[in-house]
Structure 1
Amino acid sequence: MIPLFEHSFYFMRHGRTDANARDIVCGQLDLPLDEEGRAQATRSAARLMDYPIAAIWCSPLKRARATAEAAAAVLNLEIREVPDLMERDWGKLDGTDRADLDRDATPPGGESPEDFRTRTLRGLGQVEGPHPVLIVAHAGTSRVIQGELTGGDFDRPLNTEVRHWIKDEDRWTCRTLIPGS
């Protein structure tokens, strides 16, 4: 069992990058936030003051780290990086049209869906309290979390969208607290 999944937690997708704006695969390309992404991170971070976040964990990719830094500045918290929370490695598909992805296939030079899931769960297993925590990562990370906790069709978060995963006995629910853009 993953200790994180014993507690309610927050999840925030990183701010926009040039790849997001162009709707192309970014994967593990280490792109920074674009101008709009920096503004998104600042706006969403300011709204985090309304929530009792006690720790911040993030992917080390620049786009997630910069988004986490905006939150950390507002919440006066340190950031802990977890390399296993990086986005899926899409190999040779990085830089291609996102609409052409087959998420059930292993891309040339990239991770299989099961390898990505296993790595992401290993990363989530490293997240510790104090609780509740904020995880700043990627749409792929959110896909794994949703698959593990509720299943069903994936609801892809927008850039800087903040979701609250709430554990009530043995049932999980998720609600959007801060809409992304």
Structure 2
Amino acid sequence: MSLERGTEQITRVLLWRHGNTDWNAEQRVQGQLDVPVNDRGRAQAQAAAAVLARHETQLMITSDLSRCTRTAAPLAELTGLTPERDARLRERNFGDWQGLTTPEVRERFPESYARWRAADPDPGDGIESIADLGKRVSETIRQAAERVPGGTVILVSHGGAIKYGVAALLGWPEEMLPTVAPVQNCHWVDLMLQPSYGWRISAYNVGV
């Protein structure tokens, strides 16, 4: 069923962050390393799926990393959808920092860590720039919406990918980004595309 406001069809895209992992709890940089969800993450996914299944979703796409595909599994069971995988929904590549805890990063890479803390969009050490991250994720959002005009899409992704993908899609200025909180585990962002208005954000960091 399509969403309609007046005579216009509204396309909806929900960006859902994966469930908790042991590395989240350890404050260890995951980036694009394939870290699985833990028991808490699986329970989060099950609870969120019961809520998200209320939407009449036509398409579900996940990051190809297992913490996203495993998060998507309970919703796939409830909806009967077969999730597609798209590497463009992966988390930001954190280069030399991947696998390290935050204190280890601060000790080994003090200059780039300081730049990152100061919201430098390209801090170095092989870390993917905010511009590149936002471009690949926002493109995926647009293309997914084009496939189901007037319908609903769920994209299962990662905290940084969701935040910066949404920012790029909506044209948020760079200086605004540090004021936007990260999306929590198994929470989501609700976007709406209406022909007369374009893209708008309906809800941010929503959870069970």
Instruction: Give the structure 2 partner of residue 129 of structure 1.
Output: 147
Distance, in Å, in 2 between the alignment partners of 1:114 and 1:146 is 12
Name the larger-Rg structure. 2
SS at match of 2:40: helix
* Structure 2 unaligned spans of 5+: 1-9, 107-112
Distance, in Å, in 2 between the alignment partners of 1:86 and 1:57 is 11
Q: 1:137-148 maps to which residues of 2 (within 5 A)?
A: 137-147=157-167, 148=169
Distance, in Å, in 2 between the alignment partners of 1:156 and 1:177 is 8
Deviation readout 1:2-30 (Å, 9 max, x if unpaired): xxxx8321111000011111222210010
Paired AA for residue 200 in structure 2: W
Instruction: Give the structure 2 partner of residue 57 of structure 1.
Output: 61
Q: Matched residue pairs, number?
A: 175
Moved over 4 A (4+): 98-101
* Structure 1 unaligned spans of 5+: 1-5
Distance, in Å, in 2 between the alignment partners of 1:78 and 1:135 is 12
Distance, in Å, in 2 between the alignment partners of 1:149 and 1:81 is 24
Mapped contact 2:32–2:92 kept (Cα < 8 A)? yes
Mapped contact 1:15–1:159 kept (Cα < 8 A)? yes
Instruction: Give the structure 2 partner of residue 12 of structure 1.
Output: 16
Instruction: Give the structure 2 partner of residue 3 of structure 1.
Output: none
Q: How far is the alpha carbon of 1:118 from its aligned partner? A: 2.6
Alignment RMSD, CA only?
2.4
The answer to whether the aligner puts 1:149 opposite 2:155 as a matched pair is: no
Q: How far is the alpha carbon of 1:124 from its aligned partner? A: 3.2
Paired AA for residue 97 in structure 2: L
SS at match of 2:53: helix
SS at match of 1:53: coil
Deviation readout 1:27-74 (Å, 9 max, x if unpaired): 001000011001111111112222121110110001011111121111
Q: 1:64-75 maps to which residues of 2 (within 5 A)?
A: 64-75=68-79
User: Does the C-alpha gap of structure 1 residues 120 and 178 become closer, same or farther in structure 2, counting only changes over 3 Å?
Assistant: closer
The answer to whether the aligner puts 1:174 opposite 2:191 as a matched pair is: no
Distance, in Å, in 2 between the alignment partners of 1:108 and 1:66 is 30
Deviation readout 1:112-144 (Å, 9 max, x if unpaired): 222222332343344253331001001122112
**Structure showing the higher helix proportion among its residues:** 2
Aligned with residue 116 of structure 1, among 125, 129, 133? 133
Percent identical pairs in the alignment equals 26
Instruction: Give the structure 2 partner of residue 25 of structure 1.
Output: 29
Mapped contact 1:32–1:63 kept (Cα < 8 A)? yes
Distance, in Å, in 2 between the alignment partners of 1:122 and 1:173 is 16
